[in-house]
Structure 1
Amino acid sequence: MKILRYFFHVLQVGLIYAMYLMDDLYKNHLGFMRNVSFYSHKIETSMVGSKLFLLPLLLVVIAVFLIIRKRSWETVLLMIMGITFLIWQGLVPVTATPIYYLISGILGVGCLLQLMNVFLKRSQSL
């Protein structure tokens, strides 16, 4: 289980690299740029796009509950990641960056990986 937790941390670092890779792909590949623009517009006008801020809010609430129950550096890291995701959703407008939804997806996957790390660590300590 410990190896799986370390693997999830390595994946999270890889997700940080994926953000820069997506930005580079958007700037240098026209086909990717068109697809991202098309799907970003589609998500923005859909019902999911308007409710996307609820995901980081839910993650922060779960992190607060987990910190209250048992504090560890993994739960604190989950809280930091959830707050970062919430700030990204709340303060950065959709029009500010063309890969807004890609970055939101990457942050969401990173938070879910950290949530799995927290639950793996909690299951080991029980």
Structure 2
Amino acid sequence: MKIFRIFLHFIQLGLVYVIYLMDDLYKNHLGFMRNVSYYSHKVEASKFGSKLFLLPLLLVVFAIILVVRKRTVESLILILLGLLFLIWQMIFSLATTPIYYLVSGILCLGFLLQMVIVLLKRG
């Protein structure tokens, strides 16, 4: 189980690189830029896009519940990731960051991976 948790941590570190890679792809490849712009505006116009700020808020509340139950370093990292995701949603928008929804998805995936790590950890 410990090896699986370490593997998940490496995947999380890879997600940081994926954010950089998505930004680089957006800046240098016109086809990728067009697709991202098209789908980002489509998501923003949908009902899901207008309520997306509720997701990190719900995840932070869930992280606080897990921190109260399991007081480990991993649960503190979970709350930090949840706060990072919430701050990202509050400060940035699609107008300021063209890959807003891609980064939001990557941050959500990182949070979910950390939540799996916390739930697998005995403590």
Whichever residue aligns with residue 71 of structure 1, its letter is: R
- Fraction of identical pairs, as percent: 63
The residue that corresponds to 1:100 in the other structure is: 100
1:1-126 equivalence runs, <5 A: 1-122=1-122, 125=123
Aligned-pair CA distance for 1:70: 2.1
Whole-angstrom CA distance in 2 between matches of 1:106 and 1:88:
12
For each residue in 1:45-96, what CA deviation from the matched residue of structure 2 results, as whole angstroms up to 9, or x when unmatched? 0011011111111111011111111210000000000000000001112210
SS in 1 for 2:98: coil
- Displacement of 1:26 in angstroms is 0.3
Give 1:25's aligned amino acid.
Answer: L
SS of the residue corresponding to residue 95 of structure 1 reads coil
For 1:56 and 1:89, locate their aligned partners in 2 and report how far apart those are by CA, in whole Å: 8
Bigger shift: residues 88-97 or 16-25: 88-97
CA RMSD of aligned residues (A): 0.8
Provide, for residues 26-55 of structure 1, a one-character-per-residue CA deviation record: whole Å limited to 9, x for no partner: 000000000000000000000110111111
| Higher helix proportion | 1
Structure 2 unaligned segments of length 5 or more: list them: none
Counterpart of 2:52, as a letter, is L
